[in-house]
A and B are shown apart, each in its own frame.
Chain A
Amino acid sequence: MPLFVLRRLLSFVLTLLATSAVVFAVLELLPGNAAQVILGETATPESIAAMEEKLGLNQPAATRYLNWMGGMLQGQTGLSISYDTPTGQLMAERMQVTLPLAVMAMGLTVALALALGIYAASQQNKAGDVGVMTLSQLGLALPNFWLAILLILLFAVHLEWVSAGGFPGWSEDDGGGMFEGIKALLLPAMALAAVQTAILTRVTRSAVLDTLREDFVRTARAKGLSRRQVLWGHVLRNAMIPVLTVMGLQFGNLITSAIVIENVFVLPGIGRLIFQAIANRDLIVVRDVVMLLSALVILINFCIDVLYAWIDPRLKAGHAE
């Protein structure tokens, strides 16, 4: 097991490095130079020169890359151009909204999808299964921002149970607080969860159906276990392996979908940060946020890999699946 984790850790670090290189390179490949992009077409040569100085564009790319990396590792991130604050601080503030949102959405998704998927598998081709599959088809087709707007129409405009957007903050001053915060994140989490639930339900269902066809399920029944005992004792754990893969991918999806959803609900999260940064051409923020989000996605996948090894003893021993 330790060997496996070590190898995965190595892969994780390498991917992280490669990602940082790519992120850096993409921003290098801008038409014109970064300073011009940031300041726009009306900039004077002097202001461009000043910006270039500020960005350190006179130094070779490699040096800038290393400076950036070194700074990140020491916790000193670049200075945002539009906000004039370190990006690290900005990101930390915004993550207080986005992370709970993603966790809530993921929680909703997993709970619903596992329940629905297992139910559908146990009712294969009967009414229950058809119902769940139809629902999931609909869920897949809905643009999540449209669902978000519909939810707002229903719960905020019509029923007035929650506000139509905005985030009051986690602290109790200025009308915030735990409860208020969660209330504000509820509709966004639901909108995010809808599509992901549809996907995960299908995956769960097919994973369970596939596992039910395995020989060891027949052995378990021959031992005298009831169908239910077989489902819980033998099928679920085995079926979780492909399901976990998808869950890992989904977390990445969630984070990026949050960009759109945060805009719908005007939530001060990472999604809106990057969106505004792009609109303001604040490339420093864009670069650092993209790096952060990519790192998060890679981290999640690393955790999933380690989770596999914990679940599947064949992996611990180094056997390929």
Chain B
Amino acid sequence: MNMRDLSSAKPLLQVDDLRVSLPTARGWAPALRGVSWRMERGQTVGLIGESGSGKSLTALALMGLLPERARVSGSIMLQGQELVGLPEPQLCQLRGARMAMVFQEPMTALNPLHPIWKQIAEPLRLHQHMSASDAKARALQLLERVQLPRARERLDAYPHELSGGQRQRVMISIALACSPDLLIADEPTTALDVTVQKEVLSLIKQLVHEDGMGLLLISHDLGLMQDQVDRVMVMYGGAVVESAATPDLFAHRAHPYTRGLFAARPRLGLARGTRLTTIPGSVPELMDFPAGCAFADRCSLAVDECRQTPPQAQSMASHGAGETPHVVSCPRWRLP
């Protein structure tokens, strides 16, 4: 057993039954339907799902950046401090300082009118009250840390002078500026060239490891997850359907949706004429999810119980993955 997992220490992040509803033309739509997990410093967690699964929404909920109209319930505890319902001024103190986020589109994420150093200096000046010159020096250190070539020249450059990969490095340096405890990366490499993707991902991995931060990595790409995170949560329809340590998930997938995801990956070496496997149907509108399991309408194993009752999370035997439980939310899954 790992010494870190002691109930007396406060976990880095504890999310309990997080629910988010969004107002739509047809009424309140449940966008997140009860997400829970717990992670410590130094742990890396991956959140995987397709568009509309609620993974980005989860990240925004953590940061408190949901649209004003959204209704949030449940609990998010960052090092013991409750974030749900926290007044905005206090949230502002935490954002950028104790938890930071890197977004998907580096091309548009930086203000085109401000020089690079200023954008990195901003959280430093805000949270650590640094002077401009100190902040600029620190910005240089950060840029060197994220391995931005010619960092000194780039300090005074403007975003349009940098490529996508370079801008994403800048974004990472902004996120790390105040040494946060939790880093959330929402599809950080999706918009980048394949060659650059690997570099940026390994950079994130290295920095997270060096600083002992907690990492929440969000993606739709299974392959990415395999090398990057210790634990994976699979989301569908606003709920976590399965979660396990990465090697465990890849070896033993339980939930029908997870199996569908894995089966749908195109593979080299298949016989010619083999049809690509797909998951039948498509993701319904938020209002149209069944009352029970979100996946019920597309699942080949579904029965009436699936459609009516929200499934309970059940732990299955984890196969040699230490203390990370393998949890499945599917009534059709019975412990052997």
Do the two chains belong together in a single complex? yes
Q: Which residues of B contact A238 (CB under 8 A)?
A: 111-113
Closest chain B residue, CB of each to CB of A216:
B111
A223 B112 Cβ-Cβ under 8 A: no
A313 B158 Cβ-Cβ under 8 A: yes
B interface majority secondary structure: mixed
- What band does the interface of chain A fall in when counting residues whose beta carbon is under 8 Å from B? 20 to 34
A219 B110 Cβ-Cβ under 8 A: yes
A223 B122 Cβ-Cβ under 8 A: yes
Docked CA distance A223–B174 (Å): 8
Q: Assuming A223-B122, A311-B113, is B92 touching A218 (CB within 8 A)?
A: no
Q: Assuming A215-B108, A216-B111, A313-B112, is B161 touching A222 (CB within 8 A)?
A: no
Closest chain A residue, CB of each to CB of B107:
A215
Q: Which of B95, B108, B109 contacts A224 (CB 8 A)?
A: B95
A225 at the interface (CB under 8 A from B): yes
Number of chain B residues close to chain A: CB under 8 A = 31
Q: Which residues of B contact A226 (CB under 8 A)?
A: 88-89, 92
B113 A215 Cβ-Cβ under 8 A: no
Instruction: Tell which of B97-105, B134-142, B275-283 binds the partner.
Output: B97-105
Q: Which residues of B contact A311 (CB under 8 A)?
A: 113
Closest chain A residue, CB of each to CB of B100:
A222
B216 at the interface (CB under 8 A from A): no
B109 A225 Cβ-Cβ under 8 A: no
Docked CA distance A221–B63 (Å): 9
Q: Which of B105, B110, B115, B161 contacts A317 (CB 8 A)?
A: B161
Per-position binary interface string of chain B over residues 290-315, scored 1 when its CB falls under 8 Å from any chain A CB and 0 otherwise: 00000000000000000000000000
- CB contacts under 8 Å to A, within B79-123, are 88-89, 92-97, 100-101, 103, 105, 108-115, 122-123
A158 at the interface (CB under 8 A from B): no
Measured CB to CB, the closest approach of chain A to B28, in angstroms, equals 18
Q: Which of B110, B115, B122 contacts A225 (CB 8 A)?
A: B122
B101 A222 Cβ-Cβ under 8 A: yes
A234 at the interface (CB under 8 A from B): yes
Per-position binary interface string of chain A over residues 215-247, scored 1 when its CB falls under 8 Å from any chain B CB and 0 otherwise: 110111111111101000110011000000000
B108 A314 Cβ-Cβ under 8 A: no
Q: Which of A218, A220, A233, A312 contacts B112 (CB 8 A)?
A: A312
Docked CA distance A215–B112 (Å): 11
Q: Which of A218, A227, A313 contacts B103 (CB 8 A)?
A: A218
Interface centre among B101, B105, B122, B171 (most CB of A within 10 A): B122
Q: Which residues of A contact B101 (CB under 8 A)?
A: 222
A7 at the interface (CB under 8 A from B): no
B198 at the interface (CB under 8 A from A): no
B111 A314 Cβ-Cβ under 8 A: no
B94 A224 Cβ-Cβ under 8 A: yes
Q: Which residues of A contact B94 (CB under 8 A)?
A: 224
B209 at the interface (CB under 8 A from A): no
A84 at the interface (CB under 8 A from B): no
B152 at the interface (CB under 8 A from A): no
A225 B126 Cβ-Cβ under 8 A: yes
Q: Which residues of B contact A173 (CB under 8 A)?
A: none
A interface majority secondary structure: helix
Docked CA distance A215–B108 (Å): 6
Q: Which residues of B contact A225 (CB under 8 A)?
A: 92, 96, 122, 126
Closest chain B residue, CB of each to CB of A237:
B113
Q: Which residues of A contact B127 (CB under 8 A)?
A: 224
Interface centre among A219, A221, A229 (most CB of B within 10 A): A219
Interface centre among A218, A220, A222, A234 (most CB of B within 10 A): A222
Interface centre among B101, B112, B171 (most CB of A within 10 A): B112
A234 B111 Cβ-Cβ under 8 A: yes
B158 A224 Cβ-Cβ under 8 A: no
Q: Assuming A224-B95, A313-B112, A314-B158, is B174 touching A219 (CB within 8 A)?
A: yes
A223 B95 Cβ-Cβ under 8 A: yes
Q: Assuming A222-B95, A224-B95, is B105 touching A215 (CB within 8 A)?
A: yes
Q: Which residues of A contact B171 (CB under 8 A)?
A: 219
Docked CA distance A319–B160 (Å): 9
Q: Which residues of B contact A221 (CB under 8 A)?
A: 65, 95
Measured CB to CB, the closest approach of chain A to B59, in angstroms, equals 10
Docked CA distance A233–B95 (Å): 17
Measured CB to CB, the closest approach of chain B to A214, in angstroms, equals 7
A312 B113 Cβ-Cβ under 8 A: yes
Closest chain A residue, CB of each to CB of B93:
A224
Measured CB to CB, the closest approach of chain A to B323, in angstroms, equals 32
Docked CA distance A215–B159 (Å): 13
- CB contacts under 8 Å to B, within A180-213, are none
B160 A317 Cβ-Cβ under 8 A: yes
Measured CB to CB, the closest approach of chain A to B304, in angstroms, equals 42
Docked CA distance A77–B63 (Å): 68
Closest chain B residue, CB of each to CB of A314:
B160
Docked CA distance A218–B110 (Å): 10
Measured CB to CB, the closest approach of chain B to A235, in angstroms, equals 10
Q: Which residues of A contact B161 (CB under 8 A)?
A: 317
Closest chain B residue, CB of each to CB of A233:
B122
Q: Which of A224, A233, A237, A313 contacts B96 (CB 8 A)?
A: A224
Interface centre among B92, B100, B113, B161 (most CB of A within 10 A): B113
Q: Which residues of B contact A223 (CB under 8 A)?
A: 95-96, 100, 122-123, 126, 174
Q: Which residues of A contact B108 (CB under 8 A)?
A: 214-216
Interface centre among B63, B65, B111, B122 (most CB of A within 10 A): B111
Q: Which residues of A contact B115 (CB under 8 A)?
A: 313
Closest chain B residue, CB of each to CB of A240:
B113
**What are the 5 tightest A-B residue pairs by CB atom distance, in nearest-first order?**
A224-B96, A224-B95, A223-B96, A215-B108, A216-B111
| 7 A–B contacts, CB within 8 A, in A order | A215-B105, A219-B111, A222-B96, A222-B101, A223-B95, A223-B126, A238-B113
9 more A-B residue pairs beyond the given contacts A222-B63, A223-B174, A312-B112, with a C-beta to C-beta distance below 8 A:
A215-B108, A215-B109, A216-B108, A223-B122, A224-B127, A225-B96, A225-B126, A233-B122, A238-B112
